[in-house]
Each structure stands twice: as C-alpha cells, then as structure tokens.
Structure 1
C-alpha cells in the first residue's frame, strides 16, 4: 500500500517532486562547498598551533594516500560534510551571541555614566538573562544537528518536548562520541607526525648545508651552496611521491623507498612531471607571504593560503601515484625521457628560488627550514 501511494504521488505531483529534488541537490551542493571552505579554515587554524599542526599535515598526506589507493579525485575530499557541521556551529554561534554583545555594551555604558545605579544593575541582570538564553539556544541548536537553520529557527516547543524525553542525555552523549570518533584525530596526528619526521630526515642534510653556507665567506659559500642545492634538488624531485607512497601504504619505511618511486615513475612519467610541477610551482608564491612578519593573532590568514595552494598539489600527487600503481608495464621511452628532461628545469627553478628566500623572508636564513611543500602547511618560524 505505501508503495502504491508513493507511485500515485509521483504520478500526480511529478513536477513538484522534481523541483524538490533539484532544490535538494542545490542545497546539498552549497552545503558541500561550505564544508570545503570550513575544512580549509580548520586546517589553517590547526597549522598555526604547535602539535595540532601535525593534524593538518596528516590530513593532507591522507588526501594523497587515499587518491593513490582509489584513483578517484572525489575520494580526496575527506570529511567535507563533517567540516560543514563544525563550520555551521561556528557561524551560528557567532550570529546568536550578537544580542549578548549589544546588551553587554549597554551595561558597560550605563556603568560608565552612572556606576552602581539602578539602570546599570538592570542592564546587568538583563545581560545575565540574555547569556543564559543564548547558551541554551546554542546547546539546543547543536543537539538538533548544528546546522545554520537550527540557530536561526530555535523551535522552543520542540525544545520543551525534548527536555521531557527520557534518556535524552544518554543519546546525546552517544551521538557526540560517535561524531568525535569519526573525525579520526589520532590517526591524522600519527600520520602527520611520521610524515613530518620522514620529510625532516630527507631535508636535514641539504637545508643544513645551505644554512651553513650563509655563514661562510663568499668562496666557500658558493661551493657549499652548490652542494646543498644539488642535494635539495634530488630531494625535491622524490619527496612528494615518497610521502604519497607512505600515506598510501601507511608504512614509515615507504618514505625511504627511492627505488620503488623510480619504478613507479616509469609507469606514469607525464603524470609525475605534472604533479611535481604543480607542487613546486604552488609552493613558490607562499614564500612571498613571508616578506613581512605576520602578527601572531592573524597568522592563520596566510596559513589559509598555504592550505589552498598545497591541497591541489597533494591531490595531484596522489593521482600520479594512482596512475602508476594501476599500470603493470613502463611507458614508452619517449614520454619517459620527455618527463625526465622536463623535471630538471622545474626542480632547478624551485631550488634557486629557495636559495634566494633568505634575502626575501623576514626570518632571513632560518626561512630555509620552512619547506612548507613537504612539512606542515605554515611558516615554522611563525609558530
């Protein structure tokens, strides 16, 4: 019977159903876009906090690893819907606390004009009431799902019915626990920490040589800089794919499997060249953000641009690894040599730009440590 009724409703109200489906898809798409923006903001906020920055690096590494395993770009946008909930809660809280802010301002003005007067005390009592109502409103909106519409339309009668419901707090605790567990924060932290340590092991020698070269006379500095630049060139060519391989297999030893990465390069040389081009090219503008020292309270804003630039690079690196792992035989010698010859000028240009960063960055020679294309997506010296 329900199926017949459903068929009848579809037959008689087909246009309405289609319109609802269309608007539902539009709403879902907008929610996804909002979630992506919220995700980037969360990654940027975490990247400027010591220890939490490993969460950002772990997420970006997992993007590469997931695409490398599945071969689908859409699988790299991990947790967008969950980020939409957190973004909605942040935006909703910001909106609903405005009445409390206005009443607080009125109370402070009254205290300034007539301290201890009846009007000032009345504004103070009113502020306490508004704060209590606002807190209840925020909690209720989060209980209902944390969407922006829940903050804009409180539904007080439904709130009263919810207060009378049995085991309401037990169900709420299980939902919150399930959501927090689904964020997989320990997984991202452990992945980011290991990825950071592995990348630092590769970068320590070339960057250390370049740092030492800045303290030597001109003759010794040039020779040492050439050695450090050559080593950094070799590291920059291989490290993005070593990190993607590590995230794909979840093995720390994969960060040092140079032979395996070279073997995979033979299967998808053009994809490797293009992903390396985007990775190093998108890293260059980020060094320009370090010309002036960013105030600590605004450090997350440049980090937002860091995340926006680094995210597509991680996506493309995972895509290149996926293409390589799905092919069993190396490609023809011509695309292999074209890719090899194309990689060299890209890596050389990147190393030259990194060599010049001490003369551009506020932190001087120490900016060489800020290899954000491979390490945490934020200037380390700003942490």
Structure 2
C-alpha cells in the first residue's frame, strides 16, 4: 500500500487585526461603563431613599424592576437606566475632581484673611479664586455638553471648545439633548408608581402595625393577646405583600395590589421560586433592623441607606423572576413542591415577624421602628414615613 500524501503545513497564526482589537477594547470599556453605572445607580437610589418625597422615586424604581422582570421574564431587563446613571455618576465624579483647585484657593484666601484681613495678598487670593471658579464652571458645562463622561472632565479639549462656540444652533441642540435626557429618566412615572405602591402596602400593613403598636401600651395580659393577633396578621401580610407589589407594578393597576387570589394562583405554578424570593426579601430586610439597635453616627448616616439598596435590589429582582416563572406555566405544579414551599414559607415569615416584634425593645427609635417596614414601604432605613 502506498503511503498517504503528507499533510500541508499549518497556516501561520496571525495576530488579531486592529479592528478586532478595537472591538475587544470597546466591549471591555462598555462593560466597565455598565458596572460604573450600576454603582452610580445604587448610590443615587440610596441618596433618594433618605430624602422625604424623593424616597418615592427609589420605591417606584424598585417596584418597576420587579414588574419589568415579571413582564419579560429576563433578569437583565431589571437593570433599568444603568447607562443613564453612568452619565450622572461621571458628572458627579468629574465635578468633584475639577473643583479641587477652587477648594485649595479658598483655603489660601481664608488663611490670608485670618492673618491680614483686607490686605493686598488676601485680595489677590480672592480675585484668583473668582477667576478659577468661573473657569471651572465653564469647564463643567463644556464637559456636560460633550457627554458628561469622566474623560471629558480630565481633558477639556480647548480647540474643540472654540470650534463649538462658532457652531450655529449650538445652544438649541444642547437644550434638546438635555431635555431628552431628563425626559428619559421618567421621574414622574417612578414617583407616581412609588407613591401608589407605598399607599397600597400601607393599606395592608396598617392594621397589624397598629395592633402591635397598641400592644406596647397595654399591661402584660392584654399585650400578649394583641401581640399574637398583630403578629399573625403581619405574618400573613409578609407572605403575600412582595408579590402583590410586583403584580401591581407589572399591570400598573392599583387594584392589582389587592388581588390576593391571583397571587395565590400564581404561587401554585411556581411554589419553589416564590419561596426563594420571599426568603431573600425577608432575610435581607433583617440586617437593617439590627442597624437600629444604636444610633448611627452622623458621619455614617449614609451607610444604612446604601445597605438597604444593596439588599433590597436583588430581592425585587427575584420577586419579579418568581412571578415570570409562574406566568410561564399554565398548570399548577405537583402537590409535593407546593406543600414543601408552604411549609418552608411559614418559618421564614415567622422569623421576620419575631424580629419586627422585638424591634421596639431593641431599636433606638423605640415603638416608631414598627413603622419602618423596610421590605415593603419606602426605602428609608432610618425614616419610614
């Protein structure tokens, strides 16, 4: 037999082309920008959560996350507005960087005024400070006009600024872009959704919370009976309320907040998913109660709000995911996972109820802490209403 012909030599491996390398760098830059946007979004939600009225924006956004995932069935759809938050985060970080020269000059001017009030040196520092502030303000506006990215704050591109000043219709275009960006934030929508979600949740919570509140004012005998009644009602509400809120956010109907039968029907179609979502929702709310044992120092007042958003964000995502899984199934699941989930839900809700019950005796805020239902109401860990 003749030998087979030799194989051709392997082709040389070429280095990736410049377009491919650019594509990789662009993907890495896009991923980094998305991560930065997520961090900025969490910071913005945490900042809004402790400001009265603005905390409805945080609640509305978190409810919209659940409703969107329940509607589409895709978890990635729950990260809403991350790219827009990246722009705001870049503007905040860039502004913080470029104002440092003005801060230093302000310190020099104040020192000069303390040493020799009204002297020529102090006046020179004052004039220099005004000039630097004007330059910095122009630089911030120019960086925002270019897109508000961090690199725009680090390098002003003065020649491009001069060309931009000669461009006709520049202010009209800038106004249109800013208007489109602000409208794209959908702030009225989030506020209205959060306000209705808060009112609906309060309607469910008001009875058990008032009963628990009254129990702390009665003698031991009556206090025990009222506490048992209030705790039982709170347990039943805690089991259903996260999914009622997600159902409301999905349909955008306030009446959906009270469609208990529909939520129980959906539970039968995805019982284990409902169990997991409720576990994360109630479990992640407990650390916020523990933070209230002592008064938070003023310099760390931002920490509870930040932890709240970090904990409640995945809980809202899982709640929407559980709702979407239930809607994809036409028939109830087997009786075994249904009863397994029912039996698993009871100790979770009972543990949460016990934590809420003992909170007035451990919290710095006393009985007012009963109003701070972190898992359901406005996301304000230290200020519920």
TM-score using structure 2 length: 0.94
- The counterpart of 1:282, out of the listed 270, 275, 284, is 284
SS in 2 for 1:115: coil
The alignment's C-alpha RMSD in Å is 1.3
Conserved 8 A contact 1:48-1:299: no
- In structure 2, the CA distance between the partners of 1:382 and 1:350, relative to structure 1 (3 Å rule), is closer
Q: Which has the higher helix share?
A: 1
The residue number in structure 2 matching 1:177 is 179
Corresponding residue for residue 83 of structure 1: 85
1:41 equivalenced with 2:35 (yes/no): no
User: Corresponding residue for 2:162?
Assistant: 160
Distance 1:296 1:250, change over 3 A: farther
Q: Which sits farther off after the overlay, 293-302 or 154-163?
A: 293-302
Q: Identify the match of residue 308 of structure 2 among 306, 309, 327.
A: 306
Whole-Å separation in 1 of the counterparts to 2:66 and 2:280: 14
Match of 2:26 in 1: 24
Contact map agreement 1:363 1:381 (CA 8 A) in 2: no
The DSSP-based 3-state class of the residue aligned with 1:293 is: coil
Deviation of 1:15 after TM superposition, in Å, equals: 2.5
Q: Which protein is bigger by CA-based radius of gyration?
A: 2
Q: CA deviation at 1:299?
A: 3.3
Match in the other structure for 1:265: 267
CA contact (8 A) 2:378 2:384 kept: no
- Distance in 2 separating the partners of 1:294 and 1:178: 40
What is the CA distance between 1:14 and its match in structure 2?
Answer: 4.5
The answer for the alignment partner of 1:198 in structure 2 is 200
1:300 is displaced (CA, Å) by: 3.0
Q: Contact (CA 8 Å) 1:299, 1:382: kept in 2 or not?
A: no
Given that 2:304 and 2:382 are in contact with CA atoms closer than 8 Å, whether structure 1 keeps it comes out as no
Question: Distance in 1 between the 2:166 and 2:197 partners?
Answer: 50
Tell me how far 1:226 sits from its aligned partner: 0.3
Partners of 2:59 and 2:377 within 8 A in 1:
yes
Q: For 1:381, what is the secondary structure of its paired residue?
A: coil
Structure 2 residues without counterparts, runs of 5 or longer:
1-13
CA contact (8 A) 1:296 1:382 kept: no
The aligned counterpart of 1:3 is none
Moved more, 66-75 or 101-110: 101-110
Deviations 1:251-295 (A, max 9, x none): 000000000000000000000001000100101111111112235
Task: State whether residues 372 and 384 of structure 2, in contact with CA within 8 Å, keep that contact through their aligned partners in structure 1.
Answer: no
1:88 CA drift (Å): 0.3
Alignment of 1:110-149 (within 5 A): 110-149=112-151
Distance 1:42 1:152, change over 3 A: same
Farther-moved stretch of structure 1 (137-146 vs 118-127):
118-127
Helix, strand or coil: the match of 2:218?
A: coil
Match in the other structure for 1:92: 94
Mark the CA change 1:296 to 1:58 in structure 2 (over 3 Å): closer, same or farther: farther
Choose from 230, 233, 242 the match for 1:231.
233
Structure 1 residue 31 displacement after superposition: 0.7
Structure 1 residues not aligned, in runs of 5+:
1-11
Distance in 2 of aligned mates of 1:146 and 1:62: 26
Query: Displacement of 1:340 after TM fit?
Result: 0.6
Alignment of 1:332-343 (within 5 A): 332-343=334-345
Partner of 1:9: none
Aligned length: 372
Tell me the CA shift for residue 380 of structure 1.
Answer: 5.2
SS at match of 2:156: coil
How many angstroms apart in 1 are the aligned matches of 2:59 and 2:360?
Answer: 24
